[in-house]
């Protein structure tokens, strides 16, 4: 998967609520631990969440 432009990621994350970003992290962690595939849109949300706000992982845990 190509790495998105940093400014684009910041813009997108600036327009997504924190609760939605947390949901993306929850889905990403669940898929990782359960070794399941994620829906493409959820993967994108998870990727944006950890790229833009890595501290949210600590909030979720």
Digit-coded pLDDT (tens) for 6-58: 566 666 666 677 777 777 777 776 776 667 676 666 777 777 777 766 666 66
CA distance 52 to 37: 22
Give yes or no for residue 2 having a pLDDT over 70: no
| Greater model confidence, 1 or 56 | 56
Residues 6+ apart with CB under 8 A from 30: 36
CA distance 34 to 4: 27
Task: Give pLDDT, residue 9.
Answer: 61
49-58 tens-digit pLDDT: 777 666 666 6
Task: Give pLDDT, residue 19.
Answer: 72
CA distance 49 to 41: 12
CB-based contacts of 43-47 (< 8 A; 24+ apart in sequence)? 45/16, 45/20, 45/21, 47/1
């Amino acid at each position: 998967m190509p790495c998105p432009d940093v400014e684009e990621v910041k813009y997108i994350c600036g327009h997504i609520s924190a609760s939605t970003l947390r949901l993306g992290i929850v889905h990403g962690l669940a898929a990782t631990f359960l070794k399941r595939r994620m829906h493409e849109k959820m993967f994108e949300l998870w990727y944006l969440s950890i790229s833009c706000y890595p501290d949210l992982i600590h909030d979720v845990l």
